[in-house]
Amino acid sequence: INISVFPPSNACIGRYILNMQITSCGHTYQRCLGDFYVLFNPWCADDPVFLDNQAHREEYVLNEHGILYEGVHKHITSRPWHFGQFEDGILDICLKLLDMGASYHHGSDQDHCWRNNPVHVSMVVNHMISSHTTNSIMKIPENNDYLKGTKPFSWNGSVPILQQWYNGRCRPVRYGYCGCLASVMCTVMRCLGIPSRVVTSFYFPCSTDNPLGINEIFDCTGKNLCGKDRLWRYHCWNESWMARKDLNQCCGDWQCLDPTPLETGRGSSCSGPTWVRSIREGDLDLDYDGHQMFCRVNSNYIGCLSQNNAKKIKFFCDAWPCGQQLITKSVGSEQFEDVTGAYKYEPGSAKNKEAYCRAYRIIHPVYCNASNCLIERELSSLKNPFLSDSGVNMRLKMANCPMYGEDVQLQWLLENLRNENKTLNFNVGAQIITYSGCPMDQFWKDNVTVTLGPREVKKIPLCISYSQYGPYLYDHNIIKVVALSDPECGDVLMVSRDIVINRPPVIVKLLSQPRLKVPCTAEISFCNPLQEDMKNCVMTLEGCGLFKEPMTIDLGTLASNQQARTIVEFTPYRLGSHRLLANLGCHKF
């Protein structure tokens, strides 16, 4: 007897058991024929996650390899990530995650009726990644302290994280960062059949007081002080494709889901799903957490000089807008795709102003009947004046692309826009900034007096040696350089630059052609570029279809300019396109 089971498009996802009842001669017997899984189906036109593009389905559902984008918008870095949604046991872990989070928004899960709705499923997954009080997948370290767990930036893929959570009785894995959380969520969503991708936004504000403003406070030396607000250099979240019946959508579209718990003034929480188009249009009362996502890509930068911890002065600066650039991995390519236009219109355009004013009235009800002109005047009064208004233009330009061990070379460009001499006294400083905008030590400062003739353009070279920044860098590879004029000389001018220090490369070379279930070898090589020993060097290797679990190699101490070569052997156990990832950790990073 051949039995075919045809689940309807509104069937609840999960594991099913197929039983057969046999009645013979007055006796009834039960026999289990087996079990099967029902998932969302982006190939089915009746399914709410239907995606009518085969190339997009291959990228956003079937592709196990991804790329995370980090750094700053002027220096975007990338690193590969293994989603691994088809690895053995991952589907069962994803369904366990739904079981653990079933009470979220639903009280009881006895009828499982919500499991046919991708909106509710995505909300449960989003909550379980890092917001559940006791059983979330992963935790973010408090105050950048991760001594009691794994370094957040040492992970290469989602599979070890999900396996550690499952095998550890569903206790949170310590530790991760926004990129880990978004990538793990992407793995779970793809595993359940929901098309998903990871998006990175540069200059991401996290403010508790002013939803549409982010404050950075500096002292007279140019040191960035630790205040309530944080300007994240980048932030990662998840987008998932689905038709929202709760919004009367007949076709699928991208929905924004941010699993990272962020402070909102009412406590920390994840956000979404939020229809991406509603963010661009400023329709914030239409969807879950729309006001939060709008503010995170449209906030205004407000920089101030703090004098004696009391009086604050707005300085002249050319600030980058928040949500400067939003990118994701391109379909079928290793390059990134710019999706900024999906979240907001071109800055300064009529549609952008209209959407902003529409959102402003919802965020600030006191302006519900205000005209666009009144709102624009209010916003202008909050912003910093431009440098050109002071009669001087400045910018910091990189003269090199520094790697660990190399000096940072900059060109400080100053232009006098007036027909008169100008003499300015600047305090110049540099400090480490975490990716989440937390200022660390100021390790370098100097005082420079600049005299500019009428309409004169001057270039001043700046050099920060590795011996100056190296002892402070650790896992945080972003340096903030600031030049701030002395307030006693008149108008306060500020120019800044975020600098990314590149990590030295790990080179992977295959020594034989990979074949299914046939041993294969690869050479992993790395050279210590520092003028000092690198201690506690550990190489972690990972690859979906290549390693059942990550391989760790202890390299010990590498002397300056020492070349380390390691031969590894592995046996591919799955057909398909695979990628071998190698990640090096040491006492420096």
Write the DSSP assignment of 369-412 as a string of letters.
T--HHHHHHHHHHHSPPPGGGGTEEEEEEESS--BTTSPEEEEE
Q: Where in the chain is the domain with CATH 2.60.40.10?
A: 387-500, 506-585
Active site residue 235: yes
Instruction: Spot the catalytic one: 229, 258, 289, 498.
Output: 258
Instruction: Spot the catalytic one: 178, 186, 191, 270.
Output: 178
A 10 A CB-CB count for 523 gives 13
Superfamily of domain covering 54-382: Transglutaminase-like (3.90.260.10)
Instruction: Spot the catalytic one: 65, 132, 235, 291.
Output: 235
Q: Where in the chain is the domain with CATH 3.90.260.10?
A: 54-382
Q: The domain 387-500 is classified under which CATH number: 2.40.128.110, 3.30.540.10, 2.60.40.10, 3.40.50.460?
A: 2.60.40.10
Q: For the chain, what is the radius of gyration of the CA atoms? A: 27
Q: What's the token pair of residue 270?
A: 């994840």
473-488: b (≥16 Cβ within 10 Å) or e: bebbbbbbbbbbbebe
Distance (Å, whole) CA 11 – CA 565: 53
The per-residue pLDDT string of the chain (589 residues; one tens digit each, 9 = 90 and over) reads 888 889 999 999 999 999 989 998 889 989 898 999 999 999 999 999 999 999 999 999 999 999 999 999 999 999 999 999 999 999 999 999 999 988 775 555 555 788 999 999 999 999 999 987 789 999 998 877 787 899 899 899 999 999 999 999 999 999 999 999 999 999 999 999 999 999 999 999 988 778 888 999 999 999 999 888 889 999 999 999 999 988 888 899 999 999 999 876 556 678 889 999 999 999 988 777 888 899 999 999 999 999 876 678 899 998 877 888 999 999 999 999 999 999 999 988 999 999 999 999 999 989 999 999 999 998 888 899 999 999 999 999 999 999 999 999 999 999 999 999 999 999 999 999 999 999 998 999 999 999 999 999 999 999 999 999 999 987 778 999 999 999 888 899 999 999 999 999 999 999 988 899 999 999 999 999 988 899 989 999 998 888 888 899 999 999 998 999 999 999 999 888 888 999 888 877 7
How many helices (H) and strands (E) the chain has is answered by 11, 29
Distance (Å, whole) CA 407 – CA 349: 41
- Counting Cα atoms < 13 Å in the Cβ hemisphere of 7 gives 18
pTM of the model: 0.94
Residue 112, CA distances (Å) to 22, 115, 442 in order: 28, 6, 54
CATH class of 506-585: mainly beta
Q: Is the peptide bond before 104 cis (omega within 30 degrees of 0)?
A: no
Active site residue 287: no
Active site residue 12: no
